[in-house]
Structure 1
Amino acid sequence: MLSFVNANNYQATVVKLSPTYYYELNETTTDEGALDTMGNAPKPGSFNGDYGVGGPEVGGEGPLTVFSADDFNGIPVPGLGGTDNLAHYSNNSGHVTLGDGNLYASSSITVALFFKAGPAQGGDRLFTNNISDPTKSFQVNVANNGLVLAVDPSNTGIAAERTLYMEDNSGPDRRLIQSDSGWFHVVASTSGDSGNERAANFRLWINGVDRTENLQPDSTGWGIDTGQAKIGGRRADPADSTTHSGAQDEVAIWLDRVLTDQEAMSLWEAAITEKTIPLVITDIEVLKNADDQDVKISWNSRRGKIYGVYSTTNLIDGDWEELDDSVEGDGEITSFTYPGIPLNDKKRFYRVVELE
């Protein structure tokens, strides 16, 4: 039993924490939409905008480093997969519509993502479920004063929103809207039975640092539109001023759950730690028939990845026979059945390779 894979530390850690939805945003075309790795979304997210003509982009370079105030070169994040990891670039002209906002809403919620900073046009959405109910609404935004969390579209100030201030709370942290800052890793959450309570219960981690104490009330107001949950925008028009000017990657959403400090930090540790998670054939089941036998092979996988399955009877001199080179990953475990093997075939080896 042999297998080969390129599952990276960060992605594997996210999946292990069982988010409700996980959009890795590794698509290179818009044809099939934005895939939910967890398989819980009713359908793929749709890319809205004029992609491929100098506007929004899929398949752009993902984060190699994130912002550091102490090092101009930034903090390396090899756990994402290096240049193999891709991202979605809104570029002020494209966003991803996930679906009915009610399916992306709950009183307790956590959103984790990477975003590439860019100048705000007054209220760019990184994530919004576009829900009006303050007990379930949740928005992660960047505005003229930097990063903002909001829960009540009909209200402003202390009952509805918080803006991220500098570490000493001397003023808004506008580094998150400066293009030369590069990428940031964000974990944001809230919980509660009312908008006021949920605004008071915001939690925020930026690049592995708990910045909750730097969240300060503001009075901007954060409206909603369309009732559709979105990544990188708010309104139906992808070129609207509320579309993000930068990029987004690895958007994970936990409904009815606030990640613990330890869980939030585990995401950061996974991002900065290079580690390959091996693909393992987890089970081989022989199914006897009257005249022949079938073999069912199972392995750990990622939804949407393409795998090849190969077989040989001789590891030393034998050639590997291609059984199928287009098996699509079903989720955490994928299976393939090889039918019609002669009953006198007593020894056979199998290999699984992640192809794309």
Structure 2
Amino acid sequence: MQPVGIVGFGSHLPENVVGPEFFHDPDAPVDPFANAPLFKVPATRHHVAPGERASDMIAKAARPLFERLGGRPPVDVLLTNVLLPDDPFMGVGAQAAHRMGIDPEWIVDLHNGGCASFVYMLELARKIMADGSARTALVAVAQNAAGQMFAQSEVRKRPHAALPGDGCGVAYLRAGGGSPILGVRKRSTPAYAEDLGLRASDGRKYWEPGTGQADIWFDPEKRTEIRERGNTLVPELVRELCADLGEEPSRIDVLVTNQPNRVFLKNWREALDIAPERHLDTFDRFGNLYGAAVPVTLDQAARAGGLRSGDLVVMSGFAHAGDFAAAAAVRWDDAS
């Protein structure tokens, strides 16, 4: 397999910044954990504007990256993941390509990777580029459910609605250049796929007419089990990846994960014995960005000088109720 590296990142955060007061329900009982450090909701998060499409978010995230690369670089492969597709039949890839003014040979809309989708797409890009017929790729993850689904009048009163934020992250890959991807580890457990879904309060399918508001649903009998999966999957995949590379987790310079809440973040870094300053975290500023958290956080860190040449950067996440998880490592190269 020809080496593939990350040349750069780009990100977009919608203009609308929302504070915790947006989610306040005066009729709800007082939550005794509301101000506890581990359970306090993020101070701010961004919400998409009405009419802002996922393809717009991807184009806005790519624009500054393309400018840093000298204009409109060639893109042979475009891989996208969108949490809440604007058009279920169409996907977002072709629309995003049109808005960016690119014409990739490969356009793939990936929907099953969830919060680990960015890592998954790095590996897919490497596989597509393996025979040398494609030499560049753009990987894009858009989280757009916070200002749409979680901002609904009834859904926003539920405790989990205050955690997500909207944003988009992209990465440009090139064969034989950039910060080389050292390895990827993946784990699929299809038996867990039905433990999470989208449910409307009136029981309708999402495409059927009705008045019930749709929200994320977890199997109530498996909540404890799902939390345990989340606590263990990320450290396990990171350890397996480090073993593949002949490295100890203690040698990781920068760890970036999906960011569901502070409890998972704390448990993951403690399990891996990673100091907090080496586990990059944008949760308090942007909330839970789902799959976009990894590229958005890395773009923020790269632009702030938080990534140094030679750093071992490890990315990881778990999806949905634990049916998919992945980890990837790159050796950061500032010159890329």
Query: TM-score scaled by structure 1?
Result: 0.27
More strand by share: 1
Query: TM-score scaled by structure 2?
Result: 0.28
